[in-house]
């Protein structure tokens, strides 16, 4: 943990060195609440890693910053720390495999690498190791690289596609005609939302269950006001159906977790005198909500609807019987 704290502090120092007027050692000591020797070691570590730091004495005070000659090499209007942030994002971008912009972003990272000495790149890789992202496992998306070019083209051209899709409900591969609207990530997975012309109904499809896509050449017009956030605003997770009213009481121990999870939902919270939280929300996704509530164990109690209260009670009774065997 100590080593991670040091790397995080040094990353914050990089951002301060990138400012126009630089920063003094005293300011760094006060901000991070560490000794002068600790800050001096941090600055020395950055210099040893190849970062072009230097100090300017103004009115008897040393102000540390990045060398102007180095910053002049950077493409306008990016700052050095902004480019480093982009460099760190390359692992996150793996989530989108072969999407249109990945090639260009990879190119930016390659150009940035050419500006930095090898020691600096090694330092950045070490720093990035503590900011790991959970991206999609290759084995879970065996067809992704194969289907993405056609899918990207269809969305850009607003062209219908014929796709082979595995239906969990029917336990078989199906051929569907779809008007693809957009791709979005949820739960570390990628999903496609598109209109099914046969039923004139928007549906959500998991990209991991698409094995083949064929362009039909048939044009369609996506509504100009279509928005993923608006389309999914009543969905608790990925399932979108008729919203229902849920009232759930949570114990104080889980209140902060509940608030974060419900942040994107339309909901109301009532703080009870004993520290409990009463949450009321109108959302869809019965099974997702059920298993979310169960994940809190004794720290959550359903008030409404009664059918959900009964279903959870039966699930817990069955679990208790299983443990009693």
Do 78 and 111 belong together in one domain? Answer: yes
Do 145 and 22 belong together in one domain? Answer: no
Beta bridge mates, 201: 196
Do 226 and 290 belong together in one domain? Answer: no
CATH no. for residue 119? 1.10.10.10
Specify if 169 maps to a domain: yes
Distance, in Å, from the CA atom of 315 to the CA atom of 3, rounded to the nearest integer, reads 45
Residue showing tokens 């991670």: 4
Distance, in Å, from the CA atom of 34 to the CA atom of 296, rounded to the nearest integer, reads 39
Do 159 and 255 belong together in one domain? Answer: no
Comparing CA positions, the residue from 184, 147, 142 lying closest to residue 163 is 147
Distance, in Å, from the CA atom of 286 to the CA atom of 235, rounded to the nearest integer, reads 10
Domain-ending residue, one of 231, 253, 282: 231
Number of structural domains in the chain: 3
- Structure confidence at residue 293 (pLDDT): 96
Specify if 6 maps to a domain: yes
Specify if 146 maps to a domain: yes
The gap from C-alpha 317 to its chain's centroid, in whole angstroms, comes to 36
Do 8 and 124 belong together in one domain? Answer: yes
Do 147 and 213 belong together in one domain? Answer: yes
Encoding tokens for residue 56?
Answer: 């300017």
- Structure confidence at residue 247 (pLDDT): 97
This model's pTM is above 0.75:
no
Do 180 and 215 belong together in one domain? Answer: yes
Specify if 109 maps to a domain: yes
Domain membership of residue 23 as a residue range: 1-133
Residue showing tokens 């990272």: 109
CATH no. for residue 221? 2.30.30.520
**DSSP of 182-242:** EEEEETTEEEEEEEETTTTEEEEEEGGGEEEEEEEEEE----TT--HHHHTTTBSSS--S-
Specify if 256 maps to a domain: yes
**pLDDT mean by block of 10 residues, the chain; 325 residues:** 69 83 91 93 89 83 82 66 72 55 71 80 72 56 81 87 93 95 81 92 92 94 87 88 94 93 86 94 94 95 96 95 90
Do 112 and 224 belong together in one domain? Answer: no
Q: 163: helix, coil or strand?
A: strand
Do 59 and 123 belong together in one domain? Answer: yes
Residue showing tokens 């020691």: 119
């Amino acid at each position: 943990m100590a080593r991670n704290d040091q790397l995080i502090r040094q990353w914050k120092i990089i951002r301060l060195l990138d400012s126009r007027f630089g920063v003094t050692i005293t300011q760094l000591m006060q901000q991070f609440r560490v000794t002068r020797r600790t800050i001096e070691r941090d600055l020395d570590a950055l210099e040893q890693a190849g970062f072009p730091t230097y100090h300017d004495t103004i009115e008897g005070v040393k102000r540390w910053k990045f060398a102007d000659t180095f910053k002049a090499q950077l493409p306008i209007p990016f700052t050095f720390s902004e480019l480093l942030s982009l460099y760190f994002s390359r692992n996150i971008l793996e989530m989108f495999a072969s999407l249109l912009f990945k090639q260009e972003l990879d190119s930016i990272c390659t150009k940035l690498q050419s500006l930095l000495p090898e020691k600096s790149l090694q330092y950045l890789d070490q720093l990035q190791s503590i900011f790991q992202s959970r991206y999609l496992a290759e084995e879970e998306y065996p067809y992704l690289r194969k289907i993405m070019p056609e899918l990207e083209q269809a969305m850009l051209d607003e062209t219908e596609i014929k796709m082979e899709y595995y239906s969990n409900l029917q336990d078989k591969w199906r051929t569907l005609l779809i008007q693809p609207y957009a791709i979005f990530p949820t739960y570390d997975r990628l999903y496609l939302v598109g209109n099914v012309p046969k039923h004139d109904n928007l549906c959500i499809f998991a990209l991991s269950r698409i094995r083949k896509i064929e362009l039909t050449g048939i044009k369609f017009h996506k509504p100009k006001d279509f928005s993923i956030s608006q389309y999914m605003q009543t969905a608790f997770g990925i399932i979108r159906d008729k919203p229902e009213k849920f009232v759930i009481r949570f114990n104080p121990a889980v209140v902060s977790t509940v608030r974060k999870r419900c942040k994107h939902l339309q909901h109301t919270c009532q703080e009870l005198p004993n520290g409990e939280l009463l949450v009321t929300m109108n959302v869809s996704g019965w099974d997702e909500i059920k298993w979310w509530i169960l994940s809190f164990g004794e720290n959550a109690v359903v008030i409404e609807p009664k059918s959900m209260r009964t279903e959870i009670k039966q699930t817990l009774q069955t679990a208790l019987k299983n443990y009693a065997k």
